[in-house]
Chain A
Amino acid sequence: MSKGAYRATAIAAEVAVPVAILLAWQAWTAQANDPKFPRLSTILVEFRELWLFSQFELHVVPSLTRIALGFGIAVIVGVAIGIPLGLSRRGRILAMPHIEWWRAMPPPALLPISIVLLHSIGDRQKVSFIAFFCLFPILLNTIDGVRGIDPALMETARSYGVGRFERIGRIVFPAALPQIFAGMRTSLSLAVIMMVLTEYFSSTSGVGYVLLISKNTFQLAPMWAAIVLIGLLGYLLNLLLVLIERRVLAWHRGWRAAAAQ
């Protein structure tokens, strides 16, 4: 099979399989007539009503903003702490027990205290909560990425008198970038989970809030519409990140392919 044909088949499969599942869902819900499982057509009408028009600004924008801010902070802080820790053995010895402790903590356990400590159920609390738990995959991957740098590369730069900060910018950071992206992918799906979790727990807006209210008022079609939206958000955000990664790390794929030969 040619490369183009292979790609076309792959894309068709990626589209065809979900479409087939949705059709089966529609067929099954139509004959089952169970209020707990509204027809797909009903969910989609609800989806359009809810998310594409009236509620988009009210609930989708706040949720996306929280994800963007929380995830963004986690990336910046994770890389900023991860690089020095990756370079310093002493730093790692001091920091690793703390990192492992907080990383092992289940997020819901900290949800109540985050509200108490931050005196808020607004964006401040939500963004901090998302950022906190998104931090660990990025931080640990950055540390690993930095530790994995070839010493020959660092020695070369050192022998040419390249200063510490320039070494970090020109060698340490790009060398760790593939690992950093791996951490970002894990964190991004965590960000969606944390977004739903915080909004579901205490909120006045957001997709998770709509999910909770619909459930409490037994409005099952909007509830399903919210579930569909959350799934779609997670999928699209990941797709976006993968596309960025492919562009930024084009060298990495080429390099690995060349090394494998």
Chain B
Amino acid sequence: MSKGGGQVLEIRNLGKTYGTGERATHAIADVSFAVEDGEFVCVVGPSGCGKTTLLKCVAGLLNPGSGEVLLRGSQVTSPPEEMALVFQEYGRSLMPWSSVWNNVLLPLRHKKLAAKERKQLVEEALAAVGLTRFSHHYPWQLSGGMQQRVAIARALAYQPSILLMDEPFASVDAQTRGDLEDLILQVREEFAVTILFVTHDIDESVYLSDRVVVLTHAPTEVKEIIAVDLPFPRDQISTKELPEFAHLRGHVYRLIKRDQVEPAELALAEPVPESGRRG
């Protein structure tokens, strides 16, 4: 893999607290790590450890309470143009009134591009995820896995240098999940993107990444950062049969398991984010 292009992304002492006073919930205490150019970094942690909050701060959608996110050295305060975000809830992030084509076109409409370039970008993105034949369909006419591929195509068409993914494959079946994992590895190769990928699936994190960042439960800190030196190209069967894979998987598993929280604490761990509330 092409690595070593220097740091593109640095998360420095990031903290986030919801609410104030006695009712304050410390979602993230202090998280720091960096992502190299071209790297695939997975973030795993126990459920409710503020992974989504972390990613939203990185994406510039949420202001961190403390610390900062640096993109090529400059602080992220609003969504940067070179980042694209793929959510877990594909069904909720696609526009049901627009065709697949128009959904993928959405982030390109306001970019200063010729009509021909836009068309080409959409075509390439749809081809990369194997949905060329479905461009005139509505998203809800497709299966869950295909809808998530539309969301990935939309992110690719935006031509980001960094792809942020928030548990993107958590709501599809196991078979589809494996296919999508391989798709994203292939896309990474083809489009030369840096990927920051949040998941709660330990196997997935080891299978996909160059490095795994393991988080503690809330208030969240970095427990350990593990380098994954499994060979590329990775394969759902042969890679997962490697003793190194089993070893790494076990290692991450132990880190998270040791960190399991009591149910009472868990209830406090995932606060409703501000944007999710209806005023």
Contacts and interface: CB of A to CB of B under 8 A. Distances in A.
B185 to A, nearest CB: 23
A109 to B, nearest CB: 33
B138 A255 contact: yes
B271 interface: no
A254 B141 contact: yes
Contacts of A246: none
Interface string A4-42: 000000000000000000000000000000000000000
Contacts of A163: 110
Interface in B103-157: 106-107, 109-110, 138, 140-141, 154
Given A147-B278, A150-B92, A251-B96, A162 B61 contact: no
Contacts of A159: 59-61, 79, 83-85
Contacts of A161: 79, 81, 107, 110
A4 B65 CA distance: 61
A152 B88 CA distance: 10
Main secondary structure of the interface of A (DSSP, over half): helix
Contacts of A215: none
Contacts of A258: 140-141
B89 to A, nearest CB: 5
Interface residues of A, number: 29
A11 to B, nearest CB: 28
A152 B138 contact: no
B275 interface: yes
Interface string B68-95: 0000000000010101110101011101
Nearest to A160: B107
Contact of A171 (B56, B95, B141, B158): B95
A175 B96 CA distance: 9
A154 to B, nearest CB: 8
Contact of B93 (A147, A156, A162, A252): A156
Given A153-B93, A153-B95, A171-B95, A162 B140 contact: no
Which A-B residue pairs are the 3 nearest by beta carbons?
A160-B107, A89-B279, A258-B140
26 contacts: A147-B278, A147-B279, A150-B92, A151-B275, A151-B276, A152-B87, A152-B93, A153-B95, A155-B85, A157-B106, A159-B59, A159-B60, A159-B84, A160-B107, A160-B154, A166-B110, A170-B95, A170-B106, A171-B95, A174-B95, A175-B97, A251-B97, A254-B138, A254-B140, A255-B96, A258-B140
